Amino acid sequence: MAIELTNAPQTWGLEEGDEIGPGRTALKLLGGGRRYDAYLAFDGHLHAVVVCKVVRPHLVDDERTLAGLRDEWEMLARLNHPVILRGFDAVLDGPRPHLVLEHLEGPRLSTLIRRYGPLTAEQLVPLAVQLSSAVHYLGNEGVVHLDIKPSNTIMGAPPRMIDLSVALSAEDAAGLRKPVGTDAYMAPEQCDPERLGPVGAAADVWGLGVTLYRAATGELPYPEPSEGDDVRLEARYPQLTHRPLPIEAPIPADVAGAIRDCLVFDAERRPGPGELAERFEPVLGAMPKPRLSRLKPRLR
């Protein structure tokens, strides 16, 4: 049975120079989630700046949280792709269980969209090729990410897909009986796996499609989901009942068509990510190279 330290503080409150673990010191708090704090840190062994994902103090003995940390580390340790975040080490017990992750320079895609609006075609198409490559690789490795979205995409050269905290093996994903992921980016079969499953690699193609749609238009392809566990399934997951909206953005028709094909309701009719990359690449090769002065305002 899991033990939760109810009297423990909810966050570590580490300041610059405080020790996270042997040879690792905090630089600053980056953020966090319900179970973890994320710190920019210095790793003495690597002699490099890293990100440490640290279990929050009241959960250091919680079996479910520690199992999730272990599963994420095992997933990171087996994957090796230029567009997927790297993991360097894991401390799975002791006073501060944590993962040591690659520190990436660059904003999240969600931040760029929020600050500057949709991407230009010159930005969108290379991103589509790179993310399709990563999804193709995950499928070959028998992994389903389950949470592809703009906030899990770091814009760099190349862009990086991050956060495998809910990723599953293809076998475990196929056995899902309840929703897993972020409501607005989940494939229909993720939203209602008992009725529409099994969940597999095609769910990541859907997440890729919604991510690219939002990057191209600044909007979701269907109404914003209603929040809360007590709302009707169709309100929480509008993708179950609403057809995707047209893509009204100045992007090549072939790119818009490929994005729309990612959002086909029937998982078996969605294109594979390798096919998507092959559809995006000719468009990329035919596009004029962008002038740096045009892209600078969007990449600040």
Q: Which residues pair with 49 in a beta bridge?
A: 42
Same topology between domain 19-102 and domain 109-299: no
Q: 255 and 280 in contact (C-beta within 8 Å)?
A: yes
Domain limits, the chain: 19-102, 109-299
What confidence tens digit (pLDDT) does each residue in 141-150 have? Answer: 999 999 999 9
Whole-structure pTM over 0.85, yes or no?
yes
Collapse the DSSP code of 71 into the 3-class scheme (helix H, G, I; strand E, B; otherwise coil) and give the result. helix
Collapse the DSSP code of 16 into the 3-class scheme (helix H, G, I; strand E, B; otherwise coil) and give the result. coil
State the architecture of 19-102 in CATH terms.
2-Layer Sandwich (3.30)
The two three-digit tokens of residue 78, written as one number: 């087996």
For each of the chain's 300 residues, which pLDDT tens digit applies?
A: 333 444 566 889 999 999 999 999 999 999 888 899 999 999 999 999 999 999 999 999 999 999 999 999 999 999 999 999 999 999 999 999 999 999 998 999 999 999 999 999 999 999 999 999 999 999 999 999 999 999 999 999 899 999 999 999 999 999 999 999 999 999 999 999 999 999 999 999 999 999 999 999 999 999 988 877 677 888 899 999 999 999 999 999 999 999 999 999 999 999 999 999 999 998 987 776 654 344 444 433
Nearest residue to 50 (alpha-carbon basis) of 77, 89, 5: 89
> Can you name the CATH fold of 109-299?
Transferase(Phosphotransferase); domain 1 (1.10.510)
Q: In sequence order, what E strands does 111-201 have?
A: 143-144, 153-154, 160-161, 168-169
Q: 94 and 47 in contact (C-beta within 8 Å)?
A: no
Radius of gyration of the chain (CA): 20
Parallel/antiparallel/unpaired status of strands 153-154 and 143-144: unpaired
The two three-digit tokens of residue 72, written as one number: 């994420």
What confidence tens digit (pLDDT) does each residue in 239-287 have? Answer: 999 999 999 999 999 999 999 999 999 999 999 999 999 999 989 877 7
